[in-house]
């Protein structure tokens, strides 16, 4: 049984080092959230399906982006929301984002989504975030997801069948090398939802898995 995190953990330092040392590449950028946030073959269809979801409502939704990164994707979605709340654990990244991206309905906060209280919203965006953190941390996040009606979750997972939710140490890497990936509906997370819709799936070349975006409705 996985115990939930109760004591301080090094994720903040680990993610700060990822950006400082450019472990996801992007030497030409000040901050770079990886090719998954910059390759147009991945980002364009993702932005389109999320935009279509957000614009399907009579009244715009309040969206909370957990792990907004360099905001190369989020900047394209702000216009379609009542309020867009962008959160990341890396303080220097949030400071930079506040200067670069300004809109009346946009707010940035430096928060740890595992231990900090999350702002109220209609919809959560979690894009390739949980794949980088331990099962204990994911458990803490999953508990908080029940406060929101919609979850748009994107995960990098293996092709075909795989063993879900093998544990890792939080940081740069993901579970792919273990033929694993995050499935928050499976143990030990067991998120309870009333509806599930796959919005987008991108198959990566050279057997590097697939990036799947799923919409969950919780109530």
pTM tops 0.85, yes or no: yes
pLDDT given for residue 1 in this prediction: 54
> Sorting pLDDT into bands at 50, 70 and 90, what band is 11?
confident
- Which residues, 6+ apart, have CB-to-CB distance to 9 below 8 Å? 114, 134, 137, 170
On the question of pLDDT at 122 being above 90, the answer is yes
Write down the domain spans for the chain.
11-217
DSSP string, 141-169: HHHHHTT-SEEEEEEEE-SSS--TT----
CATH architecture group of domain 11-217: 3-Layer(aba) Sandwich (3.40)
* 73 within 8 A of 129, measured Cβ to Cβ: no
Handedness of CA 46, 158, 65, 17 (dihedral sign): negative
Which tens digits make up the pLDDT trace of 168-183? 999 889 999 999 999 9
Which tens digits make up the pLDDT trace of 84-109? 999 999 999 999 999 999 999 999 99
> Sorting pLDDT into bands at 50, 70 and 90, what band is 2?
low
């Amino acid at each position: 049984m996985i115990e939930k995190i109760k004591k301080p953990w090094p994720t903040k330092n680990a993610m700060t080092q990822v950006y400082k040392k450019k472990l996801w590449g992007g030497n030409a950028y000040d901050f770079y959230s990886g090719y998954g946030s910059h390759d147009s073959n991945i980002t364009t269809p993702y932005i389109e399906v999320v935009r279509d979801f957000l614009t399907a409502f009579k009244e715009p939704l309040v969206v909370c982006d957990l792990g907004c990164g360099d905001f190369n994707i989020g900047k394209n979605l702000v216009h379609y929301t009542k309020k867009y709340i962008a959160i990341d654990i890396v303080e220097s990244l949030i400071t930079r984002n506040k200067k670069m991206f300004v809109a009346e309905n946009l707010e940035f906060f430096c928060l740890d989504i595992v231990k900090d209280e999350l702002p109220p919203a209609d919809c959560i965006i979690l894009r390739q975030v949980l794949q980088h953190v331990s099962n204990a941390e994911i458990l803490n996040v999953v508990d908080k997801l029940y406060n929101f009606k919609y979850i748009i979750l994107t995960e990098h997972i293996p092709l075909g069948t795989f063993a879900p939710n093998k544990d890792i140490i939080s940081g740069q890497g993901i579970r792919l090398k273990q033929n694993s990936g995050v499935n928050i509906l499976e143990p030990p997370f067991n998120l309870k939802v009333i509806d599930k819709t796959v919005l987008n799936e991108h198959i990566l070349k050279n057997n590097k898995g697939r990036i799947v975006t799923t919409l969950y409705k919780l109530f």
